[in-house]
Amino acid sequence: MQAEIKGINEECGIFGIWGHEKAAELTYYGLHAMQHRGQEGAGVVVNDGKRLKGHKGLGLVNDVFKQMDFCDFPGEVAIGHVRYSTQGGKVIENVQPLLFHSQKGGMALAQNGSIMNAYQLRGELEEQGSIMQTSSDTEVLAHLIKKGGREVSASSIADALNKIEGAYTFLILTEKKMYAALDPSGIHPLSIGRLKDAYVVASETCAFDQIGAAFLREVLPGELVTISDEGIQTERFAFRKQRKLCAMEYVYLSRPDSNLNHVNVHTSRKEMGKELAREAPADADIVIGVPDSSISAAIGYAEEIGLPYEMGIIKNRYVGRTFIKPSQQLREQGVKMKLSPVRGIIEGKRVVMIDDSIVRGTTSKRIVNLLKDAGAEEVHVRIASPPILYPCFYGIDMSTRKELIAANHTLDEICDIIGADSVAYLSEEGLEKAIVKSKTIHQGICTACMTGEYPVPLPDDAFDKVREETSASGRSEGNV
């Protein structure tokens, strides 16, 4: 499939465990803790001691594994995946882990993020006789690893990784070893933990807490970790660049109880709220947050400004993430079903409504409406991250520039469109400051969707398209 000129596509979660008798079951729990990273499909591949065996399906982790008796899935090693994609890829073939069998043994792969030159590599591989079964870029890596009939090993994986450009984390499983890799800029999170004698690897540390594992360390940018019965080995497959951990992981994507780069996500969001209060105070009576991802920032804002934080909106827990719906119509319907204002709290009040981000503007518009219908006197929208102006090509669903409200409208226009009494965003400096403040080592964050500074080079067609759209909108920041 052509790499769409869009910000795409996989904000997934990956999990792996080596050396525990309940490997498949623990993988299920780990995936469950990371359900927020993808709700379209899930899968597990286990090594039963002889061969790799997989189970996967479309839907939530619970649904996919509902009928599954883990006793039928014995084995001490497993990897798993939860998937979120946007375009055309919502078919069972693309649900991961991808599992391949050959005379030399099996290989399973699970990926978070995206390979930017997948389209070009796929073309080259097909020219040389490869036939692909999926439209997933993960399959491209599988073919690169096995090219020329090579054994799956740290060196064949390192060679393959050096052919791809992208923002990715991978787990690769064979009957003998498990491999974990992070791209040279470290755009997505991946951590290693320990559960008694077992090693655990997960996109988010909340998965460790779920199964009682202890955090050991993060996988480093450009690092390939090999886990086997001999223990853990590491090598650098690529020159390590300055870490550029995705800012949206802090802002929205990760769970508040996870730590990213030694920073607790809730703490960093609270700091974002505090910074926002300092930068854009509002004259109001109460502060409310859009559940769930904005609660931390709203608490920080209220604390800093000295206003009561109130539960002004209730979320219906039985409706999935609205953003993770493949069409605008479904998203709008989703917001309506999901959030209800608390009239008794809102009525007659001047409300500061904190959201973590605005992408298309659907959520803010809908909530301002709900609040006004519930009798709010004024609604001041405060966004705990900078305006999103550019698409993300590294695996966060950020659409095309055309759909990004801040890329096409001034602040006053946004205020009008969403029907608020005032709108303000956190500045880029404020965001950086908030993240740095809540951690000890500052290693850099990727803010490409806010600044247009893409740390990993874009494929030519994507680059041209962003530049075209950028000049059409009269902006010229960033490296496009």
Active site residues per annotation: 12
449 marked as part of a ligand binding site = yes
445 binds ligand AMP (CB under 6 A): no
Binds ligand AMP (CB under 6 A): choice among 296, 363, 438, 447:
363
Q: Scan residues 230-259 and list those touching ligand AMP (CB under 6 A).
A: 248, 252
Judge whether 209 is annotated as a binding position. no
Which of 243, 325, 360, 382 is the binder for ligand AMP (CB under 6 A)?
A: 360
Q: Which amino acid is at 42?
A: A
Residues linked to residue 166 through DSSP beta bridges, in sequence order: 115
- C-alpha separations of 458 from 3, 75, 165, 392, 469 in Å: 11, 41, 9, 10, 15
Name residue 52's amino acid: L
**Residue 292, preceding peptide bond in cis (omega within 30° of 0):** yes
The whole-angstrom separation of Cα 266 and Cα 252 is 10
Q: Is 356 in the site for ligand AMP (CB under 6 A)?
A: yes
Q: Any contact of residue 137 with ligand AMP (CB under 6 A)?
A: no
Query: Is 356 marked as binding a ligand?
Result: yes
Q: Is 272 in the site for ligand AMP (CB under 6 A)?
A: no
CA dihedral 359, 361, 362, 368 (to 10 degrees): 130
* Alpha helices (H) along 383-459: 405-408, 411-418, 428-437, 448-451
Per-residue tokens: 311: 């539960």
> Among residues 44 and 60, whose Cβ is nearest to ligand AMP?
60
Least distance in Å: CB of 214 to ligand AMP? 30
Question: What is the helix (H) or strand (E) element at residue 355, kind and residue range?
Answer: strand 350-355
Task: Give the residue among 84, 246, 107 at the shortest CA–CA distance from 167.
Answer: 246
User: Applying CB under 6 A, which of residues 28, 170, 250, 323 lies at the interface with ligand AMP?
Assistant: 323
- Of 457, 385, 399, give the one whose Cα is nearest residue 428: 385
Which CB atom, from 26 or from 405, has the smaller least distance to ligand AMP? 405
Number of H helices, E strands in the chain: 17, 23
Shortest reach from residue 43's CB to ligand AMP, in Å: 21
Which residues share a beta bridge with 260?
A: 263
Contact window for ligand AMP (CB under 6 A) among 12-20, 126-134, 351-359, 472-480: 351-359
* Shortest Å distance, C-beta 422 to ligand AMP: 17
Residue nearest to ligand AMP (CB): 323
Residue 180 or 388 having the CB closest to ligand AMP: 388
| Interface characters, 398-437, with ligand AMP (x: CB under 6 A) | x---------------------------------------
Contact status: 290 vs ligand AMP (CB under 6 A):
yes
User: Which CB atom, from 204 or from 355, has the smaller least distance to ligand AMP?
Assistant: 355
Instruction: Find all residues with CB under 8 Å of 134, minimum gap 6, and list them.
Output: 93, 94, 98
390 in contact with ligand AMP (CB under 6 A) = no
Please name the residue that has the structure tokens 């090999």: 226
Annotated binding site: 246, 293, 355-356, 392, 446, 449
